Structure 1
Amino acid sequence: MGFLKDKGVIYEPADRVDLGPDSDEVYLQANVKAPRMAGLLVKVFTWFLESPIFGGILLYFLKRNNLIHKLVSFAELQEPPLFEPMHPYNGSEETEVKCVEADLPPPEKVRHVVDCLQSAEDVSESPKPSFRRWTILDYSRAYTSGEITPRMVADRFIAAVRESSNPPLQMSFFINFSVEDIIRQATESTLRYEQGKPLSVLDGIPIAIKDEIDCMPYPTTGGTKWLHKVRHCTEDACCVKRLRLCGAIIVGKTNMHELGAGISGINPHYGATRNPYNSKKITGGSSSGSAAVVAAGLCPVALGVDGGGKLHLSPYFI
């Protein structure tokens, strides 16, 4: 498709660009023409995009219409490849760095990480607030001491999710969760603590999974009503498998922007995930459900995925 090649812009070296008050330089704004779509239209568009006949042509015109070819693909950079900082970096050398071997089993990796953490004991004399978010270490210490059990946490979690899912709240945190599966995992974890054999510090920790990550026994909807019908979930994703090896309790699939193709988190099929700080507002997206369950204190950890495909953890991991 060389005959269709667009002419790219030429970027001059930075030291030749005049940014003074009398400069004619202006900020180049891309004229974005990305289509907005949802539901059936997304399914049809995906079929064309993955088609060996039409996919390449469609992708080419999408990039051209959004100036990606002009500003990125075929652009010419006249800038020298080496940049020398005007102020040399004088940062201090890292000390007490501990490398964890990549081939260790997941529970062993978690143990090494926890060993590196300083004591999180609260030495403050101020009274404790009526509500606070428990961290992984909070749960682990309470389980080890026998103060609570994973089964007790599971029962309270299920009650809280049911309350948040019904009027007047209707927070829309989850697309799918199984009471029976949560209780089964919590019962097994409780038994391990009673025997003094927890798998890791993550044993019994409730962790939610964004609904574009494969996780049995749930279908992977991606926030749609059709994806799980054409792409069946047959096994756990690698990250979920590793969490299970550590004894984590997988508590369900969280709500998300449809196919992750937006930042509002408003889902026409499963409801808009509400902000735990103000239920009249939305959480934002696309990993809206994962962020909300952590902010609400339902889970200390939730998995999400960004548009580039990187796995990330919601706050309050440790």
Structure 2
Amino acid sequence: MSSPGEQSGSETLEITKRLVAPYLSGWSLRIYLFLLKYVPGLLSFVFWNTGLTSLRKLKLEECPTNLPLPIPKEYFGIKETKVDEVKGLEIFEGNKSAQKNYSSEFLCANDFHEAYLTKKATPLQVCEILIGKIEESLLCNPPLNAIIKYEREDIIEQATASTNRYADNRPLGPLDGVPIAVKDEMDVKGYETNVGTSFINRGVIAKTDATLIERLKKQGAIIIGKTSMHELGLGISGNNPNVGTCRNPHNINHYPGGSSGGSAAAIASGLCPIALGCDGGGSIRIPSAFCGIYGLKTTWGRFSTKGEFSLDPTVAVSGPMSVSADDLALAYYAMAGKDDEDPNTYYQPLPTLSGLYNTENLSDLRIGIYKAWNKQVCNPAITQALNDFIEKLKSLGANIIEIDIPDLEEVRIAHVITICSEISTSGKRYKEIFFKCNYDSRCNVELFSLATASDYIIAQQLRTRFMRNLSDLFNKQKIDLILTPSTAITAPKIYPKSLKYGEADLETVSDAMRFVNFVNFAGIPAVSVPAGYDDKQLPIGLQFVAKWFDEATLLRIAKVSEEILGNKRKRPNDFWFGDLIPK
């Protein structure tokens, strides 16, 4: 008898469909938008042709789940963390030997911290060098366009305060003096929050920090600026003619990914070891995979959303992106936890880093593999990297279990309906969206405005069913982690004609999002880890998924993955600004 994901013959069923659509850019994209707006019936035909009406045939009896909170906790296997189980930032002080930098070419947070403690450098010296590097990254040809907004005086002020703390031997912790960049979707005092557009909040300067920024600053982190993003988060490439298209540090002719591409490129190019992104449909994990870094999509409700621009509130969460697994854990723990001003965070158990350095014996872990689904990659190098990692995990004692995840194609469509309905609704608050947005954003807003209230409700009914199915997988089948590729492709190529007007490339979008959107839809956490390179020397990423609020296991497996990859990570070919600590 065949498994649920396969036919009895040699053919494999398509578990998630690859969208087939023409590539459009330049004048063809502009003409397409014109036709969508003015040819009667065309918009409806395109909407139907994408398969987005297929949920209407489902007959679901479940009540809709509008927010992916696992309620009741007991049903979803969530236990309150005991205070004595919580290990905070002090875990790093007690495990110095485990904090091995697996590539000396990349500066980690600990490298900055040690340089400051030993008086090899000061935060002020580093930031003075860094400001020059940011300027250089924007002036080179083509520009990197990773950090696109920075305030020199603010950086110097933060760095001076950090320098004084180290001089007085009273640093605030391992993040004190560490440069961190922020996606332009989150308020940072003194900056505009433009969400990748040329018009939202233009001229409006944030007077306060978002909660996550406030928590990082309390640890002494230095916020060095805002990073570029795909406009309104409506894309996976990072193409953005209005604010400047970001480049992949590993190859300037390829995209860094989106929508948090600027944050990923800033890390990969050496401008900072940590950056913040936001993930509504893979927007942290996709660019992390494309740029060869670590990216954590947290559980929905784990991080506060106070001070963030609400684009797609029921699927999007913020999370850290970093050059190393240690940095990912550092940043995560500094930001996680309840916020009195965000009721959606009240439900979570205490965050913990327990088990972070338990990397030698994985016999306590059951890792689920959906073989038929994992075969749906477009690049054989990704399959090879996945298989190599599975063998290494087995050698460390991990139990590899074959699993099935039902309804993945329906979940893909339900996620698209949900995220695009929410972004379209958010965007339509601004009349400028129809004449100031990039052409691809306008096409998306027009197209997804056809989703009905009924479509949205059916999607949320499916969310109820899917969350219950995942609960059974994690709790009844005792699966601790699910392992998939992060993406079905490596970083896509930039076509010069797309730089002026943008592009519509639904096939690439489909390939990039194939393995990620079910995570956002269910509200569960996931991490993307570097896993090598393809034959073009473009990075490959693998994704681990855990149950709700179990980021600790994800951070542990990220550390394991770092050790598996070892010193195979490579400095990018085209951009490198990481020589920040004076020699």
Same fold (TM over 0.5): yes
Give the Å deviation of 1:180.
Answer: 0.8
For residues 84 and 316 of structure 2, the distance between their equivalents in structure 1, rounded to whole angstroms, comes to 28
**Which residue is 1:149 aligned to?**
122
Secondary structure of 1:209's aligned partner:
strand
Q: Deviations over 1:58-78 (max 9, x none)?
A: xxx99988655643784459x
- Distance change (3 Å), C-alpha of 1:26 and 1:207: closer
For residues 26 and 291 of structure 1, the distance between their equivalents in structure 2, rounded to whole angstroms, comes to 31
For residues 178 and 113 of structure 2, the distance between their equivalents in structure 1, rounded to whole angstroms, comes to 8
Q: Does the 8 A contact of 1:257 with 1:265 survive in 2?
A: yes
- Distance change (3 Å), C-alpha of 1:73 and 1:191: farther
**Which residue is 2:411 aligned to?**
none
Q: Does the 8 A contact of 1:203 with 1:248 survive in 2?
A: yes
**Which residue is 2:319 aligned to?**
312
- Distance change (3 Å), C-alpha of 1:229 and 1:141: same
Within the alignment, does 1:288 sit opposite 2:270 as a pair? no
Secondary structure of 1:283's aligned partner:
coil
- What are the residue-to-residue correspondences of 1:32-71 with 2, within 5 Å? 67=51, 70-71=54-55
Give the Å deviation of 1:268.
Answer: 1.1
Within the alignment, does 1:227 sit opposite 2:200 as a pair? yes
Q: Deviations over 1:259-317 (max 9, x none)?
A: 11101101111211111122233212111110001001110100000123122221324
**Which residue is 2:156 aligned to?**
183
- Distance change (3 Å), C-alpha of 1:141 and 1:167: closer
Aligned equivalent of 2:189, options 206, 216, 227: 216
Q: Does the 8 A contact of 2:197 with 2:232 survive in 1?
A: yes
Give the Å deviation of 1:119.
Answer: 1.3
Give the partner amino acid of 1:100. Answer: V
- Distance change (3 Å), C-alpha of 1:18 and 1:175: closer
Within the alignment, does 1:252 sit opposite 2:236 as a pair? no
Give the partner amino acid of 1:309. Answer: A
Greater percentage in helix: 2
Secondary structure of 1:291's aligned partner:
helix
Secondary structure of 2:134's aligned partner:
helix
Within the alignment, does 1:269 sit opposite 2:242 as a pair? yes
Q: Does the 8 A contact of 1:176 with 1:252 survive in 2?
A: yes
For residues 211 and 182 of structure 1, the distance between their equivalents in structure 2, rounded to whole angstroms, comes to 17
**Which residue is 2:145 aligned to?**
172
Q: Does the 8 A contact of 1:175 with 1:211 survive in 2?
A: no
For residues 282 and 31 of structure 1, the distance between their equivalents in structure 2, rounded to whole angstroms, comes to 20
Q: Deviations over 1:201-242 (max 9, x none)?
A: 111000000000111110100000111149763421111110
Within the alignment, does 1:158 sit opposite 2:144 as a pair? no
Unmatched 5+ residue regions in structure 1? 1-13, 37-60, 78-96, 102-108
Q: Does the 8 A contact of 2:138 with 2:148 survive in 1?
A: no
Within the alignment, does 1:99 sit opposite 2:77 as a pair? no
**Which residue is 1:21 aligned to?**
9
Secondary structure of 1:281's aligned partner:
coil
Give the Å deviation of 1:28.
Answer: 8.3
Within the alignment, does 1:205 sit opposite 2:189 as a pair? no
Deviates more, 1:162-171 or 1:230-239: 230-239
For residues 140 and 110 of structure 2, the distance between their equivalents in structure 1, rounded to whole angstroms, comes to 33
Secondary structure of 2:187's aligned partner:
coil
Q: Does the 8 A contact of 1:266 with 1:273 survive in 2?
A: yes
Q: Does the 8 A contact of 1:30 with 1:66 survive in 2?
A: no
Superposed CA RMSD: 3.8
For residues 28 and 145 of structure 1, the distance between their equivalents in structure 2, rounded to whole angstroms, comes to 53
For residues 17 and 199 of structure 1, the distance between their equivalents in structure 2, rounded to whole angstroms, comes to 51
Q: Does the 8 A contact of 1:30 with 1:67 survive in 2?
A: no
Give the partner amino acid of 1:21. Answer: G
Give the Å deviation of 1:123.
Answer: 10
Aligned equivalent of 1:119, options 97, 109, 113: 97
- Distance change (3 Å), C-alpha of 1:98 and 1:64: farther
- Distance change (3 Å), C-alpha of 1:123 and 1:185: closer
- Distance change (3 Å), C-alpha of 1:148 and 1:98: farther
For residues 203 and 109 of structure 2, the distance between their equivalents in structure 1, rounded to whole angstroms, comes to 36
For residues 269 and 253 of structure 1, the distance between their equivalents in structure 2, rounded to whole angstroms, comes to 15
**Which residue is 1:3 aligned to?**
none
Give the partner amino acid of 2:191. Answer: Y
For residues 158 and 254 of structure 1, the distance between their equivalents in structure 2, rounded to whole angstroms, comes to 14
Q: Does the 8 A contact of 1:132 with 1:297 survive in 2?
A: no
For residues 32 and 119 of structure 1, the distance between their equivalents in structure 2, rounded to whole angstroms, comes to 50
- Distance change (3 Å), C-alpha of 1:233 and 1:63: farther
Q: Does the 8 A contact of 2:101 with 2:108 survive in 1?
A: no
Q: Deviations over 1:93-148 (max 9, x none)?
A: xxxx97327xxxxxxx3x33414545157699xxxx8x711111111111111011
- Distance change (3 Å), C-alpha of 1:183 and 1:168: same
For residues 310 and 116 of structure 1, the distance between their equivalents in structure 2, rounded to whole angstroms, comes to 30
Deviates more, 1:168-177 or 1:14-23: 14-23
Q: Does the 8 A contact of 2:183 with 2:276 survive in 1?
A: yes
Identity of aligned residues (%): 37
Give the partner amino acid of 1:218. Answer: Y
- Distance change (3 Å), C-alpha of 1:71 and 1:155: same
For residues 123 and 214 of structure 1, the distance between their equivalents in structure 2, rounded to whole angstroms, comes to 32
Give the partner amino acid of 1:292. Answer: A
Unmatched 5+ residue regions in structure 2? 25-44, 62-82, 281-314, 328-583
Give the partner amino acid of 2:279. Answer: D
For residues 238 and 253 of structure 1, the distance between their equivalents in structure 2, rounded to whole angstroms, comes to 16
For residues 6 and 260 of structure 2, the distance between their equivalents in structure 1, rounded to whole angstroms, comes to 42
